[in-house]
């Protein structure tokens, strides 16, 4: 299974085994779960087309916890040929749904973002693409920085389109932001559904 959302990948690789430590299916699924960047760089012998773009990357906290140097992301960006920088900005401050709660939680969320992420984005040229694989990171960047962040899969899609290896770039509608959010939401729902199914079957046994 290939996951787009870092927290969903973490559910299958880590949390699932803690919930069902003796379930052989859970163990197999954990070993067969890969992040998007890991699958493209480690599991496939594939070279993407080159993309002429300046990119900054905001790493998701779950992803950094599992892969501190984000070497799979760097490997994919190297293959794409983009000029990129992985930001050393720490947490975006959203923390799942934390930043959506009005009052003190929201204020803390904004303060965390203002600590390093937002100043870094203000110094980033408008022509530079912002990449953030986490749904919550993209939401925080969109709301507080006013910039639309892309999933790295969308960066690959752009490279394919511009090279003519898939549909024309004009086919990508201006609704890209909502499409990315929908993709992340579907991934999250799928993770939760599968986890519930595993737990239910385990209890039945």
| pLDDT tens digit sequence for 120-155 | 999 999 999 999 998 889 988 998 999 999 999 999
What is the overall mean pLDDT for the chain? 81
Q: Which residues contact 130 (CB under 8 A, 6 or more apart)?
A: 55, 56, 58, 121, 124, 141, 145, 147, 148, 149, 150
Mean pLDDT, 10 residues at a time, over the chain (205 residues)?
Answer: 90 92 95 94 92 93 75 95 92 75 79 90 95 90 93 95 73 46 43 44 49
Return d(Cα 94, Cα 111) in angstroms, integer: 10
pTM above 0.85, yes or no: no
| The pLDDT of residue 63 | 73
Would you list the domain boundaries of the chain? 2-204
């Amino acid at each position: 299974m290939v996951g787009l959302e870092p927290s969903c990948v973490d559910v299958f690789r880590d949390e699932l085994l803690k919930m069902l430590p003796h379930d052989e299916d859970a163990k197999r699924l954990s070993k067969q779960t890969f992040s998007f960047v890991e699958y493209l760089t480690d599991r496939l012998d594939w070279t993407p087309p080159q993309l002429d773009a300046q990119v900054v990357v905001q790493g998701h906290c779950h992803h950094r916890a599992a892969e501190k140097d984000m070497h799979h992301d760097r490997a994919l960006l190297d293959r794409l040929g983009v000029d990129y920088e992985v930001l050393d900005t720490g947490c975006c401050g959203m923390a799942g749904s934390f930043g959506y709660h009005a009052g003190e939680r929201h204020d803390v969320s904004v303060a965390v973002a203002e600590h390093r992420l937002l100043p870094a984005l203000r110094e980033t040229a408008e022509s530079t693409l912002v990449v953030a694989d986490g749904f919550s990171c993209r939401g925080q960047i969109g709301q507080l920085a006013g910039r639309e962040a892309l999933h790295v899969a969308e960066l690959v899609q752009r490279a394919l389109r511009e090279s003519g290896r898939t549909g024309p770039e004009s086919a990508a509608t201006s609704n890209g932001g909502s499409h990315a959010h929908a993709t992340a939401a579907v991934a999250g729902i799928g993770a939760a559904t599968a986890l519930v199914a595993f737990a239910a079957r385990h209890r039945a046994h």
